[in-house]
Structure 1
Amino acid sequence: MGRKSLKKERQSEIIEAFYKVAKREGLENVSLAKVATEMDVNTSLVLHYFKSKEELLFGLINFILERYKKLYTSEYNKERKGSRLVSIINNLFSREWNELVDDGVFYSCFALIFRDEKIKLAYKELHDYLRLLLAEVIEEAKNNGEVNIGNPKETADLIFVIVEGAYYYLSLFDPKDEETRKLERYKQAAFDILHIGTTIKS
């Protein structure tokens, strides 16, 4: 058990270093040697846990998923009063969500889906999982009588189409250029889909 735990911990450290280098220098410029330098270790140590950059990329995609999952956790929402669904919608259209993963790293990884079927599948699984999490929250709200939604899965899909399109579009602007106003408008569209009034606050 100890060895497995140590392996997982070391892999997490390597992926974190990989992410930092990619964020700083661009994904296309990352090498295993640069990751090793970032960690101040020998390249052979990185190769012991990840045989190639491709293996590290899959680790990075899982790293991205884990970061995004944080905004769904009860720990993140524990100090927010009211509806869990409203809280999570607010999370999805927030600076916190946008800053969980660097846009340059995310979209550089995403671009690889057009050349690598395995990465395409990994990204699809990431997006499907995030939609599933939201669908479960919508289903929970439906069971609690908070919303009257016929198909929580389709509703979650529509909301994520807005989320993904919103951040893709906003990445074209300077960080503060109309960002808040636009995010509020996109968030309102999500609440409209859920038939939740604007007077409801998290």
Structure 2
Amino acid sequence: MRIGLSFREPLLGEAVACLLENRRSWSVGFVARSVSEALISARSNSVSVLVVDTLSLESGELQGLLALRESGSAAVVLLVAEPDPTPYVGLPVDRVLSRHSTTDELFATLDELARPVGRARHGSLPFDLSRRELECAQLVARGLSNRRIAELTGLREQSVKNVVSLAMRKMSVENRVQVALRLTQAGVSDTVPVKAVVSLSMPEKVEAGR
């Protein structure tokens, strides 16, 4: 798994990189000095997770992180200076950690975000879906509305609508119940049984725009 780092202080960035490199399953793709540089490097280096220290975050760069996250290219972890990261939880990132967190907490967070979200039997994401598209498709399969998916993922509702619509086109399905059927046929884990999905989906309109 490749991880990208954005730290304004070179020494701290290199220290975190060395810490992560000691984990055999991880490699650090780059250590950027700014978020703008990190966003460019994240796309060219195909990292799974981007860790951003708030001291390297400039005004207006959250939109760039949001775009990276919504594209499904990489998950975003924000490191904040405060011991309690709760005030930052509403930001458009996947996880917020304090600089006071332990290494075990950092490792656990990265492991969780890098874990494939329901890969198919042969190890690749089915239907050429991105990580974000598959995540939303699985939530659709559980009978959740776009609004509820937005609440769970931290995405905007319109973004969820766009992601779900694109996923449905890739899966060649016309409604949300068929999403569950296709995921089940593909052998994707984390998908609830079809009967349960149908019962959960009945109150909703079976269309991508819901």
Q: Which category of TM-score, normalised to the shorter sequence, fits these structures?
A: under 0.3
Higher helix fraction: Structure 1 or Structure 2? 1
Higher strand fraction: Structure 1 or Structure 2? 2
The TM-score normalised by the length of structure 1 is 0.28
The TM-score normalised by the length of structure 2 is 0.27
Q: Which has the higher contact order (CA 8 A, sep 6+)?
A: 1
Structure label with greater radius of gyration: 1
